[in-house]
Amino acid sequence: MFRLEGKTAIVTGAGSGIGRAIAITFAAQGARVFILERERGAAAAVAAEIAAAGGAAIAIACDVTSAASVAGAFANVDRDSARLDILVNNAGIAHVGNVENTAEADLDRVYAVNVKGVYLCAQAAVTRMRKAHTGVILNLASIASLIGLTDRFAYSMSKGAVLTMTRSIAVDYIGDGIRCNCVCPARVHTPFVDGFLKSSYPGREAEMFAQLSAYQPIGRMGTPEEVAALALYLCSDEASFITGQAYPIDGGVLVF
């Protein structure tokens, strides 16, 4: 079950964290993975890691905020693969702030990556998937798409948009054999979290890590591999009856 042999997958922002885990998981299950990442060096490192484990991966430099960059990246995929089966829109950035102290430039930056980036890549993928009358798009949303989080105004705005884009794509293209879902993680322990704690709470990293972990009723943060396992299911043929849905992976946040 959940094998992806013969399938071509694009994972954006797969140079680290959740995207890296998804790329590695998909490749281990037989997919040929294209890693789209702004920093090609990071993408190349993950591709090399996959190759060392016997998988197939290709690194492509791509800025998801640029229509020209996205078009070029997908054209590179076209040259190497007959069709596109899976797109995982994982690339994203965070921001801390409320409506008063969020600068216009920060709002625009979050929108460009988290919303426009999903739009550009989904548009490019749908154009290709319609020709084959099959395909899966999975977007990385957040529990911020479903509940209010303090001091996450711009981030919540962007992830709310990801949720509604997911449902819009699912409705518009169900007749074309294209499924679209999103996952909504709570806090996941990634290098970003470690970097944030180091820069924001020097000397208090362990204390703040414990505090952030305790936010999840289950008592810890999630792991990138756990999110990747859910992504694998939703992108596999076993999930062929699922579209337009948002799947929390939150350690109990939405329950308690």
Catalytic residues: 155
Number of residues that make up the chain: 256
Rounded distance, CA 81 to CA 236, Å? 19
- From the list 101, 26, 113, 126, the residue with the least C-alpha distance to 62 is 113
Question: Do 55 and 5 form a contact (C-beta atoms < 8 A)?
Answer: no
* Alpha-helical runs (H) found in 31-116: 40-52, 67-80, 104-111
Q: For the chain, first and last CA: distance in Å?
A: 32
Run of H or E including 28: helix 17-28
Q: Give the single-character DSSP code of 244.
A: S
CA 90 to each of CA 15, 53, 98, 152, 194: distance values in angstroms, whole numbers, following the listed order? 10, 22, 24, 19, 19
CA 140 to each of CA 55, 144, 209: distance values in angstroms, whole numbers, following the listed order? 24, 11, 23
Run of H or E including 27: helix 17-28
Tokens of 39: 């920093």
